[in-house]
Structure 1
Amino acid sequence: MHNLPFWLILCLSFVLTIRPTYCFIMISTYIYIVHVLCHILAAYNKRLLAIEIHLIKSKIAVRLKLHELLIWRAELISLACKHMRQVYGVPMLLETSYVLSVLPSFPAFVLKMISLNIAFNIVFLEYCCTALIWVLPPLLILIQAMAANTINAEANETVKILAKIPHTGTGLDKMVDKFLMKNIRKKPILTAYGFFQLDRSALFKLLTAIITYIMILVQFTDIENSLKTKQIQTNKN
C-alpha cells in the first residue's frame, strides 16, 4: 500500500467509502418507506373490519365506502409493487449479491487457518476483525431490510377480511368476488427486480446459500491440503 501512488490511494479510499455510505442511505430509506406502507395497510385493514361490523345497517353507504377503499388499496399495492421495485430492485439485488459473495470468505478463512494449525496470534485476530468490519454491516442492514417487510402479511389479511363478509344480494357481492378472484394467486409484492422476494423467507434462502458456499470452500480446502500432502510424500520418496 505504501508503494502505491497518492492518486490511486485517494481513488481507492473514495470508492471504498462511497459504496457503504450509499448502501446505508439507500437501504435506510427503503426500510422507512416499507414501515410506512405496512402501517398504512394495517390501518386500512382496521377500517375494513369496521365496515364488516356495520355492513347490515347501511348497505349502500358501506358499498360506496368499500369501493373507495378497494381502489385506494389497489393504488397502494401498485406503488409497493411497481414503483418500489423500479427504484430499489436493482440496488437490493446488487447488495444481496455482494453479501452472498463476500460473507462466506470469512468463515472459510477461519476454517482454513484452523486446518493449517495456525495459532491464534495477534495478526490472525487483526485479519478476523478486519473481515468482520467489512462483512457484518452490509449483512445486518440487509437482514433488517428483509425482516421489516410485512406488506405481504397485511395484504393477505385484507383478503381474509373480505372473504368473511357475508353475501348481501347486491352489487357488493360482485365487487368482493371480483377482488378475491384477482388476489387468489398470492404474488410477492416487494421483490429484487423480480428475482426473489424481499421478506423474511429470503433470509432463510440467503443463509442456506451461504452455508452451501462455505461447505464447498471447505471441501476445496481439504482437497488442496490432501494434494499438498501427497506432493510432499512424493518428493520425499
Structure 2
Amino acid sequence: MPLPTTVLCSVTFFTYATMAITKVYIIYYSLHKHVEYMAREIQRGANSIEGIEATLWQVPETLPSLVLEKMKAPPKADDVPVIKPEQLTEADGFLFGFPSRFGVMAAQCKAFFDSTNDLFETQALAGKPAGIFWSTGFHGGGQEVTALTAITQLAHHGMLYVPLGYTFGSGMFEIDEVKGGSSYGAGTYAGDGSRKPSELELQQAFYQGKYVSEITKKLSRN
C-alpha cells in the first residue's frame, strides 16, 4: 500500500534536513607553520558542530622556491590543496588566516584577494559570513591592525564579518601569559619564529572555528 503524500513529503523533508551540509572553507597562508597550526585547530572546532563540513585550503605561493629556501621555510602541507578564486562560491562561510607583514596581511593573501575580481563584480560572495585569524612576531607586530585592515577585503565583497567579540570568556582577559588574538579573532605570536601557538591560543582558535560555523549554519538555512 503506497504511503500518503503527506507522509512522503515528511520523509523527504526529514531526509533532506538530516543530510544538509553547511560548508566552511578555512583559507590560509602560512610561511613558518604558525598560521597552519591555528587553521588546523579552527578546522577541528568547526567540524565539532553537527552538519558542518570544514575544509582547509592554502592560497597560492608567490615567492620563488629559492627565496623560500633562503628564508628556511618548511615544505607546504601536502594534505591541503591550493584554492582557486572560483571555488569560493562553493562555501557557505569562511575563515581567512595569514601572518602579518608590516601590520597588514601577507602579500600572498592580498594577491589572492586581488584575483577575485570576477566574484567582486558579480558580488557572488555577498551575504556570506567570514572570520579572520592571524600570526604576528611580537606585541607591536599588528595583532589588531592586521585584522582591522583585512576587513576591507570582506567589505568590498559584501561578506559579513564575524568578530569574536568577548564571547571566548575568561580566555580573553588572560594577562599572566603571552596570548595573541583579540575581539577581532584568534591570533598567535611567533616571536623569532621558534615559538609555537600556546594551548590557550589553540583553544581560542578551536572556539573560533565553532563560533563562526554556528553562525554560518544559522545563516545558510533555507
The two structures have a TM-score, normalised by structure 1, of: 0.25
Q: More relative contact order in 1 or in 2 (CA 8 Å, sep 6+)?
A: 1
Larger Rg: 1
The two structures have a TM-score, normalised by structure 2, of: 0.27
